Structure 1
């Protein structure tokens, strides 16, 4: 349609640049979204925003003896990356998945470290290649209080229950939260979520709001 027209050349140009990077199967990634280039770029951004801290998490979980949880992260990353044609990320995640599959098998820590380093480098390359959509200046000024309340109420609920979905929810609504929150508060919440410090994120989020989700209406 005509609405997608202006964005198409930009999307096409970005995809051409991505195709030049090693570790990409752009054709496969585009097939997974039926050739919708803007959607593909959006999904790549979501993957980076939601999972770029995962190599460090996998290494940390393995070092702490939580091999099953480390493998679960590697397994999920393997599937998501393969679907989007991120062959280098998928390859490293597949090797980690296989390496951690048997909880009783001896695993060389140096190998896990090398594979997670490879993953982190691949994420850094992808992150550097992606262009974030610009947020119009007017958008920050026009904060919808109802939307703000809805988004923060949902995020507070996820954080209070320690639900890992809080990370993907915040990442999926990052543009709205970025427009509605002070820049430093946004960065603090984002950092806390990446580090699994849900209580910290909750404290910051509540301090940003005129009233917390769990406080009665009218609390001053």
Structure 2
């Protein structure tokens, strides 16, 4: 089925106003053009942040700054991966405020709250009856060799889950086939240093590798 025959794709549902909040094209690029995977990531984001910023607020109220910082870091990465640039920047500000104890934590969180709510509202629109658009058979992609395996790795890295390291170890052969030696080694190095953002960046560059 070609794009022209698909009545409702996530890309077509994203009008100009929505793209200012969630850049669908950027998000799809980040997962190497795999639109089905991107749709799953949007659903995962909507599920994970159905409570908005409440978990971060609860952590701050309880005085658990380490947890609040970790949650803001995870939100920053997740927002970046789906192309939610304004939210990503606000999460960066919050993460920095928490890390440096600048005294701006509450102000940063208050600024982030409506932006996160706006992203969730737009995801509701994008995902409502949207039909994911699969890659054309005439345009093979290395990630299609085992999309479930790559999707699992992306989910773990986005979540900051240490199980990503286990997956890289247990599924080395399959992931090397998908990523190639250079990208795989870079992802492994970053993951073992718990630098999940850098590992995700290495995955993104796969789409531009020769």
- What's the TM-score, normalizing by structure 2? 0.52
Matched, 1:76 2:81: no
Count of residue pairs the alignment pairs up: 130
Offset, 1:24: 2.1
Matches of residues 131-146 of structure 1 in structure 2 within 5 Å? 131=128
SS in 1 for 2:53: helix
Q: C-alpha distance in 2, partners of 1:77/1:64?
A: 19
Instruction: Describe the shift of the 1:124–1:133 C-alpha distance in structure 2 as closer, same or farther (beyond 3 A).
Output: closer
Determine the structure 2 residue equivalent to 1:67.
65
Q: Distance in 1 between matches of 2:47 and 2:88?
A: 17
**What is the TM-score with the length of structure 1 in the denominator?**
0.50
Deviation at residue 9 of structure 1 after TM alignment: 1.7
2:113 alignment counterpart: 116
Aligned to 1:203: none
- Residue 45 (structure 1) aligns with: 43
- Partner SS, residue 21 of structure 2: coil
Q: Which residue of 2 aligns with 1:86?
A: 84
- Per-residue Cα deviation, 1:81-104 (whole angstroms, up to 9, x for no partner): 2122111221221121111112x4
Q: Deviations over 1:46-87 (max 9, x none)?
A: 111122324111122112211221111110111122122111
RMSD: 2.9
Larger radius of gyration: 1
> Which structure would you say has the larger RCO, counting Cα contacts within 8 Å and 6 or more residues apart?
2
Which one of the candidate residues 124, 127, 130 is aligned to 2:124? Answer: 127
